[in-house]
Amino acid sequence: MATVSLTPKLKAKLKELPKEPGVYFHKNRDGEVIYVGKAAILRNRVRQYFQSPERKDAKTRALVAEIDDTDWIVVDTEMDALFLESEMIKRYMPKWNILLRDDKTVSYVRIDMKSEVPYVSMTRNPEDDGAEYYGPYYGKVAIQRALRILRRVFPYYDKPYNGRKTLNTDLGLTPGIEIGKMAARDYKRNLRKMISYLKGNRKKLLRDIEKQMYEAAANDEYEKAAEYRNQLFGLKGMGTKIVFSDKEFLDISSDQALGDLQEILGLEKPPVRIEGYDISHQSGKNVVGSMVCFINGAADRTKYRRFKLHKQQNNDPESMHEVLARRLHHLKDWGRPDLIVLDGSVGQLSAVRVELAEAGVPVIGRDKSGDHSRNARVRIVIPEGTEDYRMVELALDSHIAKLIARIDDESHRFAIQYHTLLKRKDALK
């Protein structure tokens, strides 16, 4: 594996990198911070910058060429890293974050604290409307998941307050002002705590809540003390993984995964456009197929397609054949895939491999042997010759396994979503 030439100082730093989550700071020769990023595992992420330069685009190589030193801040959780990264980018305004970020992936958290009953929402376009905006966050999926976790500790409204009880009230995801569970002023106080967390002040927030808990207990306000205790335990226990968005800028794992796919499949070039397919039905009823599309390792939902199958049957290989036959009729107007990933093994592959080979479209299957869980091992089935197949089990933490899993999970989700929609329509007839 080719590597970048490193200074002795940088080599020493790379050996010291911890395996914890955190935020890293790339610096140039003048000590100026030129790029800030977050990582679930600092050691893995930072070292990736200096490996396989031939697999990186020109802008990324230009960034790497400027890096003379790197520093980092270790945090407790991936969620802490997500919020700290945003604050550090605002503090340093690194030139490469500005030059290379895709504005379409930028999200902000909006909270109008001047409102009597504020609500929390997300937007791409901050306005001068008196509300407070937190961010930018690079990766919508990651911040959405983080907000869902925070909501368990600091319940909030995600829509304008109308005084009506909802399912979220029963689930404890709102402060329950509408049922008298909490006063509006106490709700705002809790929101300010969440805002403190958004700003990366986790340690100070924990100290403040602990102090409030002891003060409430000393004043015999045991119900309030219990509330503070629950917030404290909730924050300390937030070790939940945050899956950083696959659209996150400089996701080198995507680049490396595409290169690995090219190598393992013997392709002429990295597969830029990868399509994933799955079938969903219930005992042969409401049989549908899904097509999802990933460009350069990132989902492109504008290119998704769904199929209501003409032949309603409990036969996944035959159904997959119909879906792919219909797809091949649209090679010109939909675009040509560089690789197709099927949710299925030899049966599904056997049903489509001849037509795909004639069209010159490579195909692999993901064999889950009935295990559709998110932690299912990643085994791919590769056609060889005219009839043979090769099974390859990928390491779960490998870049290629993560990419295949993302594609397969998304095709599975999209198929189930369409099947459920048709089933509900049938129930209403």
Which pair of structure tokens corresponds to residue 68? 């003379």
pLDDT of 1? 44
Which pair of structure tokens corresponds to residue 381? 């089935």
Per-position DSSP letters for 353-388, written without gaps between them = HHHHHHHT--EEEE--TT--STT--EEEEEEETTTE
pLDDT of 140? 74
pLDDT of 245? 43
Which pair of structure tokens corresponds to residue 32? 């100026």
pLDDT in tens, the chain (429 residues): 455 678 888 999 999 999 888 999 999 999 999 999 888 889 988 988 888 766 666 777 888 899 999 999 998 888 888 888 888 888 888 888 877 664 446 788 999 999 999 999 999 888 888 899 988 887 677 788 888 888 988 999 999 999 999 999 998 899 999 999 999 999 999 999 999 888 877 778 888 888 989 998 998 888 888 888 888 877 776 655 554 543 344 444 555 678 788 888 989 888 999 999 999 998 888 999 999 999 878 788 889 999 999 989 889 999 999 999 999 999 999 999 999 999 999 999 999 999 999 999 999 999 987 565 656 678 999 998 778 899 998 887 777 888 898 899 899 999 999 999 998 888 876
Q: Which residues touch 276 (CB under 8 Å, ≥6 apart)?
A: 290, 291, 292, 293, 294, 340, 341, 342, 343, 407, 408, 410, 411
Per-position DSSP letters for 268-319, written without gaps between them = SS--SEEEEEEEEEETTEEEEEEEEEEETTEE-GGG-EEEE-SS--S-HHHH
74-107 per-position pLDDT tens digit: 988 888 888 888 888 888 888 888 776 644 467 8
Burial class (CB in 10 A: 0-12, 13-18, 19+), 262: middle
pLDDT of 221? 87
Query: The dihedral of CA 359, 364, 368, 373: what is its sign?
Result: negative
Contact 277, 291 (CB under 8 A): yes
Query: The dihedral of CA 149, 237, 139, 31: what is its sign?
Result: positive
pLDDT of 120? 95
Closest CA to 60 of 243, 254, 244: 254
Contact 63, 211 (CB under 8 A): no
214-248 per-position pLDDT tens digit: 998 998 888 888 888 888 877 776 655 554 543 34
pLDDT of 67? 92
- The pTM for the full model equals 0.52
- Cα separation, 367 vs 286, in Å, equals 24
Q: Report the chain's mean pLDDT, rounded to a whole number.
A: 85
% residues pLDDT > 90 (the chain) = 41
pLDDT of 3? 57
Closest CA to 153 of 193, 122, 124, 199: 193
* Domains detected in the chain: 8-100 (3.40.1440.10), 104-236 (no CATH), 252-428 (3.30.420.340)
Place of tokens 């009935």: 370
